[in-house]
């Protein structure tokens, strides 16, 4: 007999796997690359974790790893807390990635992994996220990002997008629950009354799914302190990027810290975005140079790792209450 929260978690897995047919392969590849590039990780960050999808797979693959699972959606955080309650190896952290300094107090990690999430952030916020990831990783640490990353060629991109839209149309016509329907069902539960309003508050910056090309992501990663970055897998407009953190480290007071505003990037509107069922809508890409030109970033701000002050033992802050509640028209 499953609990209502277990039922929501398995529903989440189901609908995400429908939207991303290669979801499991992408997860496996992330972990394979870690295994081949570095020692078994002791500390992993599941960035924008949802109910802890990557966390669970990391625990299965690396039995001695500890994981910090970070998100901002109140109900998904609740599902993650419930899933890992009593597990000393897991810390669930409520954190808004669109805010400057989101990485503070998280400690140091061997790997930071994320899936189907970075496209929720506007490009200028994403520069703060990548810079924060570079700060959190030890030198040689691995960043893996599986996400929508459109092909640069517009004809190929539209063809891939059209095929995916057709696939989704067919599968949803058969009555399978979509991501949006899952959110509606989950937040409609009377136990979470009022939580949707809170969700709307924490996602107030959200302007639609924002899609940048792999070249854009790779350029931004290199500027953020990664010495290697490449696409290791792609199917249509979906890709997996692996990046290796270099030896230098962004200096305190670097342009990451100087990012404008607490919730930077929120002024970005009108980039290529994905319609609910997969079609890319191009609004005004030419009017938004930052969509193709990553923010001037960290190269000048990198300093040698050895000049950094010694850090204490890694520590993850748990914000139990951060969860505030709310619900959808969210993206998949
Ligand atoms: C499609 S889900 C993917 C979750 C998980 N990685 C998976 O594959 O099941 C995207 C996640 O990104 C989170 N997210 C989006 N924007 C965020 C932000 N600004 N700060 C923190 N989390 C965010 C959402 O709450 C959601 O859990």
State pLDDT tens for residues 300-310.
343 333 223 33
Please provide the DSSP assignment of 105-137 as one string: T---EEEEEEES-GGGS-HHHHHHHHHHHHHHE
Q: Can you give the pLDDT at residue 209?
A: 66
Residue 105 lies in a domain: yes
**Strands of 209-210's sheet in order across:** 209-210, 273-274, 280-281
Q: Domain limits at 41? A: 4-307
State pLDDT tens for residues 172-218.
999 999 999 999 999 999 999 999 999 999 988 776 666 889 999 99
Residue 314 lies in a domain: no
Global pTM value: 0.80
Q: How far is CA 208 from CA 122, 203, 236, in A?
A: 9, 11, 20
Residue 291 lies in a domain: yes
Q: Can you give the pLDDT at residue 204?
A: 84
State pLDDT tens for residues 166-184.
999 999 999 999 999 999 9
Give, for ligand 1, the residue of 8, 27, 48 to mutate: max count of ligand atoms closer than 8 Å to Cβ.
48
Q: Can you give the pLDDT at residue 250?
A: 55
State pLDDT tens for residues 115-129.
999 999 988 899 999
Nearest to 280 by CA among 232, 213, 216, 235: 213
Using 50, 70 and 90 to split pLDDT, how confident is the model at 260?
A: very low
> Which atom, in ligand 1's list, is nearest to the CA of 332?
1
Residue 324 lies in a domain: no
State pLDDT tens for residues 17-63.
999 999 999 999 999 999 999 999 999 999 999 999 999 999 999 99
What residue has token string 């209502």? 4
Residue 329 lies in a domain: no
Phi (first) and psi of residue 66, to 5 degrees: -105, 145
- Give the chain's radius of gyration (CA, Å): 19
Residue 327 lies in a domain: no
Residue 319 lies in a domain: no
Q: Can you give the pLDDT at residue 328?
A: 44
Which CATH number does the domain housing residue 45 bear?
3.40.50.150
Comparing 230 with 262, the larger pLDDT belongs to 230
For residue 71, the CA-to-ligand 1 centroid distance in Å is: 6
Please give the Cα distance from 163 to 166 (Å, whole number). 5
**Domains in the chain: how many in total?**
1
Q: How far is CA 311 from CA 9, 109, 250, 306, in A?
A: 36, 12, 15, 12
Residue 47 lies in a domain: yes
């Amino acid at each position: 007999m499953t609990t209502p929260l277990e039922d929501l978690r398995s529903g989440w897995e189901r609908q995400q796997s429908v939207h991303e047919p290669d979801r499991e392969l992408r997860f496996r590849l992330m972990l394979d690359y870690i295994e081949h590039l570095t020692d078994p990780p002791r500390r992993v960050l599941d960035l924008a974790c949802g109910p802890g999808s990557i966390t669970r797979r990391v625990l299965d693959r690396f039995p001695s790893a500890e994981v910090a699972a970070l998100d901002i959606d109140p109900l998904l955080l609740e599902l993650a807390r419930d899933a890992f309650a009593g597990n000393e190896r897991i810390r669930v952290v409520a954190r808004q990635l669109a805010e400057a300094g989101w990485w503070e107090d998280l400690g140091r990690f061997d790997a930071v992994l994320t899936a189907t999430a970075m496209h929720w952030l506007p490009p200028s916020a994403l520069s703060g996220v990548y810079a924060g990831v570079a700060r959190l990783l030890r030198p040689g640490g691995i960043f893996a990002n599986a996400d929508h990353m459109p092909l640069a060629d517009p004809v190929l991109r539209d063809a891939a997008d059209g095929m995916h839209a057709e696939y989704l149309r067919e599968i949803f016509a058969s009555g399978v629950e979509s991501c949006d329907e899952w959110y509606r069902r989950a937040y409609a539960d009377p136990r979470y009354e009022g939580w949707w309003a809170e969700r709307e508050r924490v996602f107030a910056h959200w302007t639609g799914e924002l899609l940048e090309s792999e070249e854009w992501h790779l350029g931004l990663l290199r500027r953020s302190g990664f010495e290697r970055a490449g696409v290791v897998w792609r199917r249509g407009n979906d890709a997996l990027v692996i990046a290796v953190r270099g030896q230098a480290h962004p200096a305190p007071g670097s342009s990451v810290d100087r990012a404008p505003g607490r919730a930077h990037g929120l002024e970005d509107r009108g980039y290529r975005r994905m319609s609910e069922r997969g079609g890319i809508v191009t609004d005004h890409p030419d009017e938004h140079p930052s969509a193709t030109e990553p923010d001037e970033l960290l190269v000048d701000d990198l300093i040698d790792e050895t000049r950094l002050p010694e850090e204490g033992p890694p520590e993850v802050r748990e914000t139990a209450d951060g969860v505030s509640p709310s619900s959808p028209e969210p993206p998949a």
